Structure 1
């Protein structure tokens, strides 16, 4: 049986892009018992913008890797503007965050560790905050609120949230 609590966090690379797409798919909140949508959902304009062209200036990812060195989760930030944006966009100077873990690694503190490290790195880089989008029924909402994110709006059924440094 693999140890689900042993992990390390490393900087993401351009080579992690396929894993980031998988994490984007995993980040789509699906209520318990509901079927997951087809991965074709990743081609919807507001979703594809989250990662399309990954590797541009300012794109930053942290990858959690398990004991066997395979990726188990990720957190990423990137900048957008009015012409190129996605859910959770606040402004052109505020990185937008995405985050997910493989299902079997959720609820173990790994997401919190990833998020806290990304908050630290983003603040050190001189940004004034981070925005995100979350379904209000997603258990991750509690973590975001605990770490200082505040609701600033609603897009569709999701909350747009912002933390300022």
Structure 2
């Protein structure tokens, strides 16, 4: 049994999940190195600004096991899954020990509803082209292909 709740003060766990969400199959840099790189730092730096939202999954013992979040970007600070300044980009990761048990799907359903409730018209995400299992899950949830840039696919979910 898993429960979804609002992000509280678990910034270190959020950073752990951000690191896990970055698909680098071989020679992945350490968390400390990767999270300070300019392309990744923009996803967590100054967290808590307008448009930032995160949800946390916890297990029956109240242990954090996954997270999903979104953030708005703009033309001067584009993200990998950037559509426009009114479309938040989602990131998500689940702890290895609970993968395949529906936590990711539960998180995604909750963040989609959250974005809809907040009045957004769409949400986006970026996924590595080699991450076929994630692409399949996103398609099942209703995300559609938007564009391919380099080794990543941007997908969009319209309300």
TM-score, normalising length: structure 1:
0.90
The residue number in structure 2 matching 1:3 is none
Displacement after TM superposition at 1:35 (Å)? 4.4
Mapped pair 1:164 → 2:158: yes
The residue number in structure 1 matching 2:15 is 21
Question: Which of 124, 142, 154 is the matching residue for 2:136?
Answer: 142
Give CA deviations for 1:81-116 in whole Å, capped at 9, x if unaligned: 111232101100001100001111111111001001
Where do 4+ consecutive residues of structure 1 move more than 2 Å? 34-37
Question: Which of 91, 98, 106 is the matching residue for 1:105?
Answer: 98
Mapped pair 1:11 → 2:9: no
Give CA deviations for 1:25-55 in whole Å, capped at 9, x if unaligned: 0001133xx3432221111211111111100
- The Cα RMSD (Å) is 1.3
**Contact 1:74-1:100 within 8 A present in 2 as well:** yes
**Contact 1:87-1:160 within 8 A present in 2 as well:** yes
Displacement after TM superposition at 1:140 (Å)? 1.2
Long gaps (5+) in structure 2: none
Q: How many residues align?
A: 157
The residue number in structure 1 matching 2:52 is 59
Question: Which of 145, 149, 157 is the matching residue for 1:155?
Answer: 149
**Contact 1:129-1:164 within 8 A present in 2 as well:** yes
Long gaps (5+) in structure 1: 1-5
